[in-house]
Structure 1
Amino acid sequence: MKIGKIETFYAPPRWLFVRVESDDGSFGWGEASLEGWAEAVDGAFAAFRDRFIGADPFRIEDIWQVGYRGGFYRGGAVLMSALAGLEQALWDLKGRALGLPAWQMLGGKVRDRVRSYAWIGGDRPHEIAEAAEVRKKQGFNAVKMNATAELDWIGTPKAFDEVVRRVEAAQAQGMDVGLDFHGRVHRPLAKQLAKALEPLGLLFIEEPLLSENPEGLAEIAAHTATPIALGERLYSRWDFKPFFESRAVDIIQPDLSHAGGILEVRKIAAMAEAYDIAVAPHCPLGPLALGACLQIAACTPNHAIQEISLGIHYNTGGHDLLNFCTNKEALTPIDGYLPVPEGPGLGVDIDEAAVREADKDRHRWRNPIFRTKDGSFAEW
């Protein structure tokens, strides 16, 4: 068996799917979505086609090593997202060919279902109580929301009152709450906000500072009992390594479509386990990314909870998580838990005709640009 074809597809609202087909007709799907940078990731596949057409698709580790190291320059969001999508597709192909889910090939199940959480507050968080009630009716008992809109570098604690009220509104619906700072809060305010939120008993605060500021993260972690979560903008085990060593993080959030794919995230998770750190993969993306996440959840002892993008504020224009799935039940939460996929590969069956049709009108998704009151750039 040899790789005969590697295709990419732009799937709305902002996803990039990958399809690998072997010379005997075996195939697999992956997701190389990098929000707002689909064209750049797509371009990386030109090199992958040159290197891997004709390769043995079962040699996943070898293909990953060549894809990561073989081009001399390595790492970063674009190359690692492309490699993640390719790697996922190879696991899917191999699993379909052998009739096994990927988790079965990675050591077997350690759990029977996967606790999940859904989003309720987007770029302009409001009406939290109503949104939390909707999620409660869907069976969720945990949610995540953005802490704030754009913020200045400095301010007063008065700015935190609204954040606290929103969290309390969600908790009043019986929800456990994770709060995403989204890198919008700079260090002077982040220290104060983390302290103000501590009595609320949050699941975690996510990206209280951007990951390029490890010293500041360690400082915040030392001054709050609330678990610190981080990792969507880290792309390999080498990126995560200093955060393990500094004890600046309690929950890591690698993205299966950004951090090199299934096996790389499994290696990152194993490193985290040695430091008694939990894993909660980042996944505001599409069905194949979620399918890959669930393979990790099934076989990873320190997996804690899984993000799901069902109904997320990014899914606009009638496009939502399950649109391209023909086995929607595999990714449908029940009482706040997702099932462990039992189907082969990623356990997600894709409507190929619908994907090919959608690709004819390729999306050009871009994240918004935020500015503060004085007109200067603010983190999205």
Structure 2
Amino acid sequence: MKIISVETFLVPPRWLFCRVATDEGLVGWGEPVVEGRAETVRAAVDELADLLVGQDPRRVEDLWQLMTKAAFYRGGPVLSSAVAGLDQALWDILGKSLGVPVHQLLGGAVRDEVRVYGWIGGDEPSQVAEAAAAQVEAGLTAVKMNASGRMGRMPNPAEIGEVAGRVAAVREVLGETRDVAVDFHGRFGVAAARRVVPELEPFHPLFVEEPVLPEYSHRLGDVVSSTRIPVACGERLYSRTEFLPVLQAGIAVAQPDLSHAGGISEVRRIASLAETFDALLAPHCPLGPLALAASLQVAFATPNFLIQEQSLGIHYNVEADLLDYVLDREPFAFHGGAIRRWEAPGLGVSIDEDAVREADRTGHRWRNPVWRHEDGSFAEW
């Protein structure tokens, strides 16, 4: 079996899909994208295709090594995301060629279902209590919210009170048997995070996410030691080597993204590394159905898995939603706040190729917001 073509499709709202075809008719799909840099990743996929065409797609690990190491300059979000989507597609082909789901190839299932959470509140959170109630009504048992919108470099008492008040309102709706995670989105500095995070302890968040920017990972231990709340991070870390120092700093939850951190091949290794630090896996995934399917395949086979992010109804999904390019939506149905394990071969996703090709004719040019402080200086989004 040989790879004969690699195609990419720029599909709304902000995704990039890839299609890897073989001379035996098997096709694999993946989702290589950096949100806001989809065109750049598309170019990287096209370059990596030179290494793949003519190769046996079932040699997944060998091709992963080639894609990540055959060039002198390595790493970074664009390259690792391009590799990630192609890696997903290769695993998809391998599973289909053997007639088994990817989780079977990863050692077999360790659970029957995967707990998921939904987003509430948007980038500048408001009306979070009502949004949390809607997610409970939809059957979810966990939600995630941003701690704040634009945040000053050192929050004042009123800003701290607003953060705590929003989390308190959500906790009141959820009760004691459901969970809320709070995403700081790197909008807080180290000192600010140490001031604000402990204020959330009475509301028992499942975790606080990315309390500081990844470039300040060497200070993450200071935040971890300031609170009893589990600290999570990892959506902007792209390899085992980048996860090692944050695990050493004491994070409780690792959040690699299956479309950023080298795909299934690398994330399963990150999960194993996290396990040696008694840390749990909660893959980041505010993306499309292929990224979610890849995440679920890893979750089905990972002992130290905690919970899975998914993007149904997320505030970014304006022109299209999670399942708009999927022919069979049933595998993604929520049952008691979880997605049940499926046994369809490969990633187990039936992509509507006609819809994808039609969407690519329009494409998208999604960019994240650019924020500024009141004094006109740049603010973290």
Same fold (TM over 0.5): yes
In the TM superposition, 1:1-380 aligns within 5 A as 1-174=1-174, 175-247=178-250, 249-317=251-319, 319-380=320-381
Contact 2:220 2:246 (C-alpha < 8 Å) held by counterparts: no
The one-letter amino acid paired with 1:285 is: L
Measured in 2, the distance between the counterparts of 1:370 and 1:205 equals: 22
- Could you tell me the TM-score, scaled by structure 2's length? 0.98
The count of residues paired between Structure 1 and Structure 2 equals 378
Measured in 1, the distance between the counterparts of 2:148 and 2:90 equals: 39
Measured in 1, the distance between the counterparts of 2:297 and 2:275 equals: 17
- For the residue of structure 2 that corresponds to 1:172, the secondary structure is helix
The one-letter amino acid paired with 1:24 is: E
Instruction: Deviation per CA, 1:136-176: give whole Å up to 9, x if none.
Output: 01111110000001111123232111111211211122241
Contact 1:45 1:82 (C-alpha < 8 Å) held by counterparts: yes
Q: Please state how far the C-alpha of 1:245 moved relative to its aligned partner.
A: 2.3
The one-letter amino acid paired with 1:278 is: L
Q: Please state how far the C-alpha of 1:44 moved relative to its aligned partner.
A: 0.7
Contact 2:5 2:20 (C-alpha < 8 Å) held by counterparts: yes
Gaps of 5+ in 2: none
Q: Please state how far the C-alpha of 1:310 moved relative to its aligned partner.
A: 0.4
Measured in 2, the distance between the counterparts of 1:298 and 1:188 equals: 38
Q: Please state how far the C-alpha of 1:122 moved relative to its aligned partner.
A: 1.1
Contact 1:138 1:335 (C-alpha < 8 Å) held by counterparts: no
Contact 1:325 1:350 (C-alpha < 8 Å) held by counterparts: yes
The one-letter amino acid paired with 1:328 is: R
Contact 1:295 1:341 (C-alpha < 8 Å) held by counterparts: no
Measured in 2, the distance between the counterparts of 1:145 and 1:329 equals: 26
Measured in 1, the distance between the counterparts of 2:341 and 2:245 equals: 31
Measured in 1, the distance between the counterparts of 2:138 and 2:336 equals: 7
The one-letter amino acid paired with 2:276 is: A
Measured in 1, the distance between the counterparts of 2:248 and 2:192 equals: 25
Measured in 1, the distance between the counterparts of 2:25 and 2:370 equals: 44
Measured in 2, the distance between the counterparts of 1:20 and 1:120 equals: 35
Contact 1:120 1:128 (C-alpha < 8 Å) held by counterparts: yes
The one-letter amino acid paired with 1:224 is: T
The one-letter amino acid paired with 2:352 is: D
Contact 2:108 2:301 (C-alpha < 8 Å) held by counterparts: yes
Q: Please state how far the C-alpha of 1:216 moved relative to its aligned partner.
A: 2.2
- For the residue of structure 1 that corresponds to 2:214, the secondary structure is coil
- Could you tell me the TM-score, scaled by structure 1's length? 0.98
Measured in 1, the distance between the counterparts of 2:249 and 2:205 equals: 22
Measured in 1, the distance between the counterparts of 2:234 and 2:38 equals: 20
- Matched-pair identity in %: 53
Q: Please state how far the C-alpha of 1:108 moved relative to its aligned partner.
A: 0.3
Contact 2:197 2:227 (C-alpha < 8 Å) held by counterparts: yes
**Following superposition, which runs of at least 4 residues in structure 1 exceed 3 angstroms of deviation?**
none
Gaps of 5+ in 1: none
The one-letter amino acid paired with 2:213 is: L
Measured in 1, the distance between the counterparts of 2:309 and 2:45 equals: 27
Measured in 2, the distance between the counterparts of 1:184 and 1:32 equals: 26
Instruction: Deviation per CA, 1:213-263: give whole Å up to 9, x if none.
Output: 12321101011000000000000111111112232x110000000000002
Measured in 1, the distance between the counterparts of 2:340 and 2:17 equals: 23
Q: Please state how far the C-alpha of 1:54 moved relative to its aligned partner.
A: 0.1
Measured in 1, the distance between the counterparts of 2:202 and 2:223 equals: 15
Measured in 1, the distance between the counterparts of 2:354 and 2:228 equals: 50
Deviates more, 1:42-51 or 1:178-187: 42-51
Measured in 1, the distance between the counterparts of 2:172 and 2:343 equals: 36
The one-letter amino acid paired with 1:19 is: R
The CA RMSD measured in Å over matched residues stands at: 0.9
Measured in 2, the distance between the counterparts of 1:240 and 1:56 equals: 31
Contact 1:153 1:188 (C-alpha < 8 Å) held by counterparts: no
Contact 2:111 2:300 (C-alpha < 8 Å) held by counterparts: yes
- For the residue of structure 2 that corresponds to 1:144, the secondary structure is strand
Instruction: Deviation per CA, 1:283-307: give whole Å up to 9, x if none.
Output: 0000000000000110000000000
